[in-house]
Amino acid sequence: MVATFPYLNASYCNLLPAKNTECILHSLQLIFEYIGGVPHTIWFDNDTALVSIKNEDTIIRYFQDTFIRFKLHYNFKDVFCSPRKGNEKGCVEAGIRYMRRNLLVPVPSFDNLIDYNKLLLDRATELHNRAHYITEQNICDMHFEDLNELNPLPQIPFEVSSIKKRKLDNMGRIYLDNKISYFISPTLAYKTIQIKITNETISFYTIQGEQICETTRIYGKNGSRYINPKPYLELLLNKPNDILNFDLSDIIGADIAALLISLTIEERDIKLRELISQL
């Protein structure tokens, strides 16, 4: 994700685990906090994570709720490029190419994305210390004029999160983010729950607002899954033979799952209660 001040070609960038509303806005929030203010006007591409266009002839836009709340909180004016008008975003496209060539070649490796993004912001700022291709003045010096015109940051930072309601299926499961499955609880089968989604976590709540569980948001291939272990292990106490129909290897380990299958019903009951108590 690249943000560019187009008059001076001063750019900032971050890496995202995925292209979704929460990641894009969180990245933009990091840039606001890094530069110490908010631009009064920001131009955006028509990314579906932020906006959808239902009629390209009349250009009717429908904005994501999280984006609207983010914009109101930080008090900036949004301008979206016209569809199929690449010339309107040529500056930021050039900024993306420049960031890739100077910061991401060769392909970097790192252990912590948050720490690496802080490093990227510092390294992007170092790239401002060069002469502008037209004025031949130092971009870093000229960029102070941009920074002095920023709107102040709000006293309370915005929590970048989306709230959704979803109905669980017969296994107490929902799908999010390109067919990634989240098994919440078999006792909640066919019930509607509330979901709070951030760039890092997903929290599940009943309609009454009671938290069911929270987990790290999964970024992976289709077919990845999360299982809230306790309610599914408790289900096996009442229906022990269901272990033959439900793979638990990714939450209790393949070895323990194989051991449970090999045990008698009485032995399996004892082992399941031991696992549940450990949770």
Are 180 and 225 within 8 A, CB to CB? yes
Query: Is the predicted pLDDT of residue 214 greater than 90, yes or no?
Result: yes
* Cβ atoms of 237 and 194 closer than 8 Å: no
Q: Output Rg (C-alpha) for the chain, integer angstroms.
A: 24
Tell me the pLDDT tens digit for each residue of 158-175. 999 999 999 999 889 999
User: What is the CATH architecture assignment of 2-148?
Assistant: 2-Layer Sandwich (3.30)
Q: Where are the domains of the chain?
A: 2-148, 161-227, 228-279
Q: Report which secondary-structure segment, H or E, holds 274.
A: helix 265-278
Query: In angstroms, rounded to a whole number, what is the distance separating the alpha carbons of residues 223 and 201?
Result: 18
Q: Which fold has domain 161-227?
A: SH3 type barrels. (2.30.30)
Query: Taking residues 3-31, what's their average pLDDT?
Result: 93
The predicted-structure confidence for 225-268, as pLDDT tens digits, reads as follows 898 888 888 887 777 777 767 777 767 777 877 877 787 878 77
**pLDDT at 116 exceeding the cut of 90:** yes
Q: Is the pTM of this model over 0.75?
A: yes
The answer to whether residue 25 scores a pLDDT higher than 80 is: yes
Question: Stretch 101-108: mean pLDDT, rounded?
Answer: 93
**The token pair that represents 183 in the structure block:** 């098994």
Mean pLDDT calculated for residue range 56-62: 76
